[in-house]
Structure 1
Amino acid sequence: MAIAFFVPIPSIVFHLTSLHCHSLSTDPPHPWKWLAQHPIFLANILFFINVDLIFWLIGLLQANTWLIDLYWTVIPVLLVHYYKTHPNGEYALWRSRAVVFLTWVWSIRLTHNYFRRERWEWGKREDWRYNDLRKKFPRSWWWLQLFAVYVSQHAFLIGICLPMYAVHTSKKPWNGWDSVATIICMSGIIVAYFADTQLYNFVQKNNLLKDLSMPGIPNLDKGLWRYSRHPNYFGELLWWWGLVVFAWNVGHGWTFIGSLLNTFCLAYVTVLVEQRMVSQEYRAKAFREYKATTSVWIPWFKCTPTRAKDKNT
């Protein structure tokens, strides 16, 4: 717990010190003067030192990469406040407030889901995908994880948070597109919350059945999961693309690149998750039938399996 609280302090202290130095002088000393003009570059430096390197070293000492999972929910909050308080920041007050508020709501939801899933324990386990990589590359994992776990997520997090930077570079007044972006973001948060809650309840019920030595339910196909195989991913994508609408509205449509990269990543994760599902014998058949009738991400009505159609013709 102590580690989780103390690890972001170097970045926070550096940023607050930089703001203090900037406020004391109308002509800030070099190199802060240059860094003040390049907030994204500075964010990358702080991320590389504080997350890529320090988290990696802590992970080596603990033989566990749990910190990055926890801080995936925290870093966007730190970044949105960093961009808002940066000396070069300029923004429309209500757009900034909306994005900051939405980011906090998103973070609280995801953090709650993380602790609920982990039974309110810190660093109880690491992501199963990293565990699989650790087993696959036992000798080289000590250095490979720097790139596979930290540097890769460095690119994802800085990239998907680019709209937060864009929002704090323009004083364009609030308009209808900001309202649309707000609705998209809130819809994504709500969809992800209910999808994760339904998944959590499903897992808990199966754990109870296991404790009673009863067969588990092979597949979740109720609630949102009846209309989408991955409604939690769909909700997450809605959230990030909603932020892109905010950025596009202030003339920074180029920031879509982060959400596009995240979409490709979730597509790959979707493949991994579904491969894992069919590799488990007790649920393979049920999942294949579910997959044949249910949309991947976007919630939609059930379709008729191709084989069933062929039999009826």
Structure 2
Amino acid sequence: MGLTAELAQRTGRVSVVDTIWGPGFIVVSVVSVLVSNAISDVEAVGDRNDRAWILLAMVSFWGVRLASHIGKRSHGAGEDPRYEELLARGPGGIVRKVLLPQGLAIWFVSLPVQVGVVARDGVGWLMVVGLALWATGLVFESVGDRQLAAYKQDPDRGPVMDRGLWRYTRHPNYFGDACVWWGIYLVGASAWPGPLTILSPIAMTYFLVFATGARLLERTMMQRPGYPEYAARTSMFFPLPPKRSS
């Protein structure tokens, strides 16, 4: 976050923190694995390293994809209106209002990784379920992002994106992100005391739905022509068959 502050100063854009969000989790995961290897003994290193490397791969794949997508999307763009509004409200600057909360959020949400990489013997089937849920979330994220990008490039597009995954949920990328972190939690929870970190995926889901994700975006989207009708027939978060019009 300190390096992000310097980058924001150089670019004049607080929104660079969104691109750093994914790599921030990768940094935490790498440090956690290094610490795990440093404190592990020879007898336990096999099982411990299996889970550690799996968690590191899951977080890294997700973080690189997300950073690449956000970086390309925001290239050449101005400041995000959300951050302009946030910084304009009351006292406090970028560190107190943006970087410190983001840093604390990265630390808290990544607790399943920090705990999981140092845990001992675990439940194999729970790890498999976690990997499957993570993969499902990654598909929703990546496919949803590609479909939205293709929609924006289409000169004959309609007023609202309601194709592909967006026909079943208004926010497939946010839903996918939640699945990714519940999957990471399950892999970390496959060994004790991993289950104790359950508040981390709950917090991430709260961020995605209520705090800085879907609900916040909906305030702006509801002002667009056709969006209220789209919202009336399409689930906001969980993918569901669209409702029939009366």
Pairing 1:95-106 to 2, within 5 Å after superposition: 95-106=51-62
Larger C-alpha radius of gyration, 1 or 2?
Answer: 1
Contact 1:92-1:174 within 8 A present in 2 as well: no
Mark the CA change 1:56 to 1:108 in structure 2 (over 3 Å): closer, same or farther.
Answer: closer
Structure 1 gaps of 5+ residues are 1-50, 210-215, 309-313
Cα shift at 1:188: 0.7
Pick the aligned partner of 1:263 from 205, 214, 218. Answer: 205
Mark the CA change 1:57 to 1:109 in structure 2 (over 3 Å): closer, same or farther.
Answer: closer
Q: In 2, Cα distance between the equivalents of 1:290 and 1:257?
A: 32
Q: In 2, Cα distance between the equivalents of 1:145 and 1:126?
A: 13
Contact 2:123-2:190 within 8 A present in 1 as well: no
Q: In 2, Cα distance between the equivalents of 1:126 and 1:69?
A: 11
Contact 2:136-2:176 within 8 A present in 1 as well: yes
Q: Do residues 220 (structure 1) and 161 (structure 2) align?
A: yes
TM-score scaled by structure 1? 0.69
Q: Deviations over 1:233-265 (max 9, x none)?
A: 000000001111122221221212122112112
Pairing 1:220-299 to 2, within 5 Å after superposition: 220-251=161-192, 252-268=194-210, 269-280=213-224, 283=225, 286-299=226-239
Pairing 1:136-155 to 2, within 5 Å after superposition: 136-137=88-89, 140=91, 143-155=92-104
Contact 1:184-1:242 within 8 A present in 2 as well: yes
**Aligned residue pairs, count:** 236
TM-score scaled by structure 2? 0.86
Q: In 2, Cα distance between the equivalents of 1:115 and 1:301?
A: 32
Q: In 1, Cα distance between the equivalents of 2:10 and 2:64?
A: 29
Mark the CA change 1:181 to 1:98 in structure 2 (over 3 Å): closer, same or farther.
Answer: same
Cα shift at 1:227: 0.4
C-alpha RMSD of the superposition: 2.2
Tell me which residue corresponds to 1:133.
Answer: 86
Pick the aligned partner of 1:159 from 103, 108, 111. Answer: 108
Pick the aligned partner of 2:152 from 198, 203, 209. Answer: 203
Q: In 1, Cα distance between the equivalents of 2:168 and 2:84?
A: 31
Mark the CA change 1:116 to 1:177 in structure 2 (over 3 Å): closer, same or farther.
Answer: same
Contact 2:208-2:214 within 8 A present in 1 as well: yes
Structure 2 gaps of 5+ residues are none
How high is the sequence identity, in percent, across the aligned residues? 22
